């Protein structure tokens, strides 16, 4: 039974790939299911171009379906490899089971776009019975997963009484869809269980976060200290205190300013209209040479009869000596 289903899935997959690469105007559906004790088959799509699944009707949604309607059978697996996968207008990748275990979905793409009620599901126990949720693995590590929050596009690996499945997503960025404990009317990623054990959701994204540049400022008031200085005098003197901050730049644009930041002072340039027309001539400051000290070698009396020390003999007529020197002349003998 399983071999026949696999052959049938292969033939229908080739037909579906052609329709997915060039999306039809009507809806398309590929289903591999089991109603007995065996497991459902596997649907594998390997497309070199983009894959688009879109459209719904009153009876079914467009998509890939591997399901189990028996209490012992397990839903099959869905494997899709494409540069770009778009699920729009309730487009579905479904590996659900009514009472058995859910299947696995393995999606490898550069860009995954979920729009208007799109769904990727490995939910088990859809008939409110036992069964564990399947596993979902999405590898979009080189690009993004994009959804619209209000359009209720979901990625689910839920269960009813069994254990929830595992959702493992690797992407450069995930936008518009986020993990939640239980399904909501928004775009969700869930691995919950109604009466069993919840599964796990693991998102592996790089450390780059567009919100990393937003730094929460501290709410603690700034402690200020005013130095005790002399009081300004005069009637027109005024005092002011201004908090200007520390200045400086953080070592990384995404980090807050810390104590090791280098302070960079701000300067104010004069407006162009305030510049003088004349050229600026710097003033020259000269320091006089100190007078050389000359040792006194003589003294003299000035007009006030004061003794003045001089370095040279004065050009004045010296006073006659008070005591005349003895004559050295000899008196001739008679």
Q: What DSSP assignment string belongs to 234-298? A: SSS--------------SSTTS---TTPPP-----PPPGGGS-SSPP-PPP---PPPPPP----E
Spatial separation of the C-alpha atoms in residues 95 and 104, rounded to whole Å: 7
Helices (H), the chain: 2-21
- pLDDT at position 327 is 53
* CB-CB contact of 89 with 56 (8 Å): yes
**Residue bearing the bigger pLDDT, 325 or 68:** 68
pTM tops 0.85: no
**Residue bearing the bigger pLDDT, 318 or 132:** 132
- pLDDT at position 248 is 60
Cα angle 12-17-21, degrees, rounded to a multiple of 5:
155
Measured in whole angstroms, the distance separating CA 256 from the mean position of its chain's CA atoms is 12
| Residue 235 reports pLDDT greater than 80 | no
**Residue bearing the bigger pLDDT, 38 or 30:** 30
- pLDDT at position 92 is 93
- pLDDT at position 239 is 67
| Residue 40 reports pLDDT greater than 90 | no
| Residue 167 reports pLDDT greater than 50 | yes
What residues contact 135, with CB distance under 8 A and at least 6 apart? 104, 105, 122, 157, 165, 166, 167, 168
Spatial separation of the C-alpha atoms in residues 165 and 137, rounded to whole Å: 11
What residues contact 334, with CB distance under 8 A and at least 6 apart? none
Exposed / middle / buried, residue 290 (Cβ in 10 Å: 0-12, 13-18, 19+): exposed
Q: Among candidates 159, 161, 153, 157, which has minimal Cα distance to 184? A: 153
**Could you tell me the pLDDT band of residue 44, with boundaries at 50, 70 and 90?**
very high
Domain chopping of the chain, boundaries: 2-209
Rg (CA), the chain: 49
Measured in whole angstroms, the distance separating CA 200 from the mean position of its chain's CA atoms is 27
Spatial separation of the C-alpha atoms in residues 123 and 121, rounded to whole Å: 6
Find residue 54's DSSP bridge partners.
88
**Could you tell me the pLDDT band of residue 13, with boundaries at 50, 70 and 90?**
very low
Q: What is the average pLDDT value for the chain, to the nearest integer?
A: 75
Least confidently predicted of 2-16, 187-201, 207-221, 231-245: 2-16
């Amino acid at each position: 039974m399983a071999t026949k289903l696999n052959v049938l899935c292969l033939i229908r997959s080739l037909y579906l790939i052609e329709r997915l690469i060039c999306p039809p105007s009507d809806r398309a559906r590929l289903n591999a299911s089991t109603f007995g004790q065996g497991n459902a088959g596997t649907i594998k799509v390997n497309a070199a171009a983009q894959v688009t699944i879109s459209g719904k009707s009153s009876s079914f949604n467009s998509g890939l379906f591997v399901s189990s309607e028996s209490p012992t059978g397990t839903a099959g697996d869905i494997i899709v490899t494409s540069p770009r996968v778009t699920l729009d207008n309730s487009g579905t990748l479904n590996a659900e089971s009514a009472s058995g275990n859910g299947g696995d979905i393995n999606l490898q793409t550069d860009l995954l776009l979920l729009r208007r009620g799109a769904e990727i599901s490995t939910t088990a126990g859809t008939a409110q019975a036992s069964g564990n949720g399947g596993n979902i693995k999405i590898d979009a590590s080189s690009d993004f997963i994009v959804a619209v929050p209000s359009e209720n596009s979901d990625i689910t690996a839920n269960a009813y009484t069994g254990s929830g499945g595992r959702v493992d997503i690797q992407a450069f960025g995930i936008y518009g869809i986020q993990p939640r404990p239980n399904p909501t009317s928004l775009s969700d990623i869930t691995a919950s269980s109604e009466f069993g054990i919840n599964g796990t959701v693991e998102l592996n994204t790089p450390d780059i976060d567009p919100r990393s540049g937003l730094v929460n400022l501290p709410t603690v008031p700034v402690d200020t200290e005013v130095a005790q200085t002399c009081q300004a005098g005069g009637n027109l003197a005024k005092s002011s205190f201004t908090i200007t901050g520390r200045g400086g730049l953080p070592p990384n644009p995404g980090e807050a300013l810390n104590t090791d930041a280098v302070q960079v002072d701000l300067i104010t340039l004069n407006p162009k209209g305030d510049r003088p027309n004349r050229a600026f001539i710097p003033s020259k400051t000269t320091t006089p040479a100190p007078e050389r000290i000359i040792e006194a070698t003589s003294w003299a009396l000035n007009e006030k009869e004061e003794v003045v020390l001089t370095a040279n003999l004065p050009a004045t007529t010296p006073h006659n000596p008070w005591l005349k020197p003895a004559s050295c002349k000899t008196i001739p003998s008679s």
